[in-house]
A and B are shown apart, each in its own frame.
Chain A
Amino acid sequence: MSKKVAITGMGIISSIGNSVEENFNALIQKQIGISRLENFASKHVDEIKVGEIKLTNEQLIEQLQLPENNTFTRTALLGAFAAKQAVVNAGITDINAFKTGLISSTSVGGMDFTEKHFYEYLTDDSLSKYINSHDAGDSSNKIADYIGLTGFVSTISTACSSAANAVMLGARLINSGKLDRVIVGGTDALSKFTINGFKTLMILSDTYNQPFDDNRKGLNLGEAAAFLVLESEEMVQQSNKKVLAFVSGFGNANDAFHQTASSENGEGAFLAMQKAFKTSGLEPKDIDYINVHGTATPNNDLSEGRAIARLFENQVPDFSSTKPYTGHTLAAAAAIEAVFSVLAIQNNIIYPNLNFETPMQEFDLIPNIEVKSKEINHVLSNSFGFGGNCSTLIFSKN
């Protein structure tokens, strides 16, 4: 990469906390956010566990101080919550003072409201105001309005890798001087749509998810939003701002194997990581920690593990999946894991891969299972999604 892209602020809401600090404390105290579904009714409530944020939409609306006639869906509410935090954390007071953008990402968009009112929309006029809140771009426009931003607003949807691609685009736009700073991340609410979708694919676990375990049974769905403020080096120098970490590398590739399954050898994942190393100028031996995608589905962990083993050869660094804490938060996953990666660098800490018991038979990759302190300079974070979308980000201390 020609220039360094600084991270100067972060905001997050997930099932393990409503702030960066709460999330970090939960991570190092092994407090998981996986529970039974409470916010809406589902036939599958007793068969699944989810990473649900225990705030109702009404409570979120109150915290955000939105007017009563607002048309925010849960996805937009969570996004606004996290984006605002990130902006405040970065010390931004006049959001439009520089060339500032917002790049959000979501997979469900306003589906949580659409599925609730689908047939009623035709008959109940009082609900009509929500009809236009369905599309993904609507949530981003609402988040932009909430933080007062007029400018470049974009939304990416590449399923479970979406937010990684938002970070990537943000870094590229800063690198090429198109923007001075950009708020990047993702937001996804739990919905019946995704619960039933993953259920039909038979990749939902009926218990706590166990990434990289030989007996893993699938994933727990979760909901979350996280945003990071990226700024150019010039902006940081001007303001003398504290830099939390840098985005130092990124790569996106397509597995081109199957619409929902990853190839057995993880070709797309391998290519994404390879590209990330190329843009960063780093080598595999420089990586101190990998925050793996690690969804705990049989297919993902095997494919990702093989790609990691191939790329890092015999020197696979410490790695763990944080999905046992938060569940798989789909489009938001890479954003919350970007926050976790930055926190790992700031605190020189590696998180445990909870629920791990039995090594996988196919290779000898053992995740880190305890809270571990060590100097962390570079973290690699993977995210993969339906459609063969594979994304890798590298975060660095300096």
Chain B
Amino acid sequence: MKAVYINGIGSVSIQDQDIFDFNFELISDLSDVNYAKHPSYKEMIPAAMIRRMAQGVKMGIYASQNALNEAEIEIPDAIITGTGMGCLQDSEKFLRAIIDNEEEFLTPTSFIQSTHNTVGSQIALRLGCKGYNFTYVNGANSFENALNDAKLQIENDEANSILVGGIDEISDYTLKLLKKIDVIKNENSSIDFKNPTSIGVPFGEGANFLAISSEKKSNSYAEICDVFVQNKIEISDLKQTVSTFLEANKIDLSQIDVLVVGRNADSNFNEYYTEMETLFEDKTQIYYKHLSAEFDTASAFGVLLAATILKKQEIPNELLWNNKSMSQANYVLCYNQYRGKDHSLVLLRNC
């Protein structure tokens, strides 16, 4: 079975592009809603196309191309994406047009761009990539589903180089609805990651991509040892689930050097993260959603950070959850869940 290496990363997030250089000078506090800081797309995408392109597509193209560039891959063998909500802006636009105009005077553009696999297929179209192309839409572990598939492809020799990423975009009306049902924090709510006292999350958006390959390079970030997804887990079963996952990889809890947790400042469903904190209490723990904000594929941002930590062998204070510093990181474990569902574990190793 072939090993799987992360050889390139790319991201569009609510932070500046140099966040993965661990430059935290310009970090600002989160709000209830946090929009992506868009890079200049015009160096990568012709101006005429930028105007027509859906936001998720732009973010996806930018992030994925940077991942490919870093990994020195021109055309990958496969493109696998994950998205919780898909191309929400175009879905909303088309739906509004249907309702407002009572099913008349419609144009197809927003319908065409509303399909969940739009980003993956636009990347393929732009690259002329005729290989395997999948899109996972499984809520908060959509990205991990994509990563799981990508890993399987390489292990089984179905592909050698794969672009894998997660994309989600904010859309105004859905935002209002998610606020109404307290999925997103109220604008007056406190945002406290350490001690969440209000319900809902600080919401965000972004595109986070990895270029992975069977080939280990001198500048590889990390090896992807394993990926696990599960629809639901009882809190009392979490320890067993994690142990079983690690055992399958022939390691135990004590061998994890860094735990990356998807804490999102929601006072609800926080008990999963507290349980994980307890399981790894003597280990270095980091959090990241105070940088990425929360959305279905925010956990991809966490995996990119985990990979960067392994490559740099350095953990900035801005990421530290507890006061346990680290000297040498060999294994990093990422854990995420959202609203008690769509759990995921990603195990990375120094390479």
> Which residues on A are within 8 Å of B, measured CB to CB?
42-44, 102, 106-107, 109, 111, 114-115, 118-119, 121-122, 128, 131-132, 134-138, 140-141, 144, 149-159, 165, 169, 172-173, 175-176, 178, 192-193, 196-197, 199-201, 252-260, 267-268, 271, 385-389
Contact = CB atoms under 8 A, between A and B. Distances in A.
17 contacts: A43-B103, A43-B104, A118-B173, A131-B181, A135-B84, A135-B137, A136-B116, A137-B142, A144-B231, A153-B229, A156-B135, A158-B116, A159-B116, A200-B106, A201-B111, A256-B130, A385-B117
Nearest to B342: A137
Contacts of B233: 150
A156 B132 CA distance: 13
Interface in B43-93: 79, 84-86, 91
Contacts of B84: 135, 137
Contacts of B140: 137
B232 A387 contact: no
Contacts of B142: 137, 155
Given A141-B231, A153-B230, A107 B115 contact: yes
Contact of B125 (A111, A115, A258): A258
B180 A153 contact: no
B148 to A, nearest CB: 8
Given A131-B181, A158-B133, A259 B138 contact: no
B131 interface: yes
B103 A42 contact: yes
A179 to B, nearest CB: 11
B134 A252 contact: yes
Contacts of B8: none
Contacts of B178: 131
Contacts of A173: 152
Interface in B147-197: 149, 152, 155-156, 158, 173-174, 176-178, 180-181, 183
Interface residues of B, number: 66
Contacts of A118: 95-96, 99, 173
A238 B101 CA distance: 59
Nearest to A105: B137
B111 A254 contact: no
A271 B130 contact: yes
Contact of B180 (A121, A141, A152, A385): A121
A392 to B, nearest CB: 12
Nearest to A271: B130
B120 interface: yes
A103 to B, nearest CB: 9
Nearest to B174: A134
Given A153-B230, A200-B106, A387 B120 contact: yes
A62 to B, nearest CB: 26
B138 A169 contact: no
Determine chain B's interface SS by DSSP, over half rule: mixed
Contacts of A135: 84-85, 137, 139, 296
B3 interface: no
B228 to A, nearest CB: 9
Nearest to B178: A131
Contacts of A193: 91, 94-95, 98, 111
Interface of B: 79, 84-86, 91, 94-96, 98-99, 102-104, 106-108, 111-118, 120-122, 124-125, 127-140, 142, 145, 149, 152, 155-156, 158, 173-174, 176-178, 180-181, 183, 229-233, 296, 341-342
Contact of B111 (A115, A155, A200): A200
Contacts of A386: 112, 115, 117-118, 121
A260 B137 CA distance: 20
Given A152-B231, A193-B94, 20 more contacts: A111-B91, A115-B95, A131-B180, A131-B181, A136-B138, A141-B231, A155-B139, A156-B134, A157-B116, A157-B135, A158-B116, A172-B158, A178-B152, A197-B94, A197-B108, A197-B111, A256-B124, A256-B128, A259-B122, A389-B121
B125 A257 contact: yes
Contacts of A122: 176-177, 180
A387 B138 contact: no
Contacts of B137: 106, 109, 135-137, 155-157
Nearest to A201: B108
A141 B139 contact: yes
Contacts of A106: 137
A44 B101 CA distance: 13
Contacts of A196: 94, 98, 103, 106, 111
Contacts of B115: 107, 157, 159, 386-387
A9 B180 CA distance: 42
Nearest to A388: B121
B52 to A, nearest CB: 11
Contacts of A254: 79, 121, 124, 129-133
Contact of B131 (A119, A134, A253): A253
Nearest first, the 10 A-B pairs at minimum CB distance are A387-B121, A137-B139, A197-B111, A157-B116, A153-B231, A136-B137, A200-B108, A43-B103, A254-B133, A137-B138
Contact of A165 (B106, B134, B177): B134
B341 A141 contact: yes
A43 B104 CA distance: 8
A159 B178 CA distance: 25
Contacts of B107: 200
Nearest to B140: A137
Contacts of B113: 259
A43 B42 CA distance: 42
A158 B122 contact: no
A44 B95 contact: no
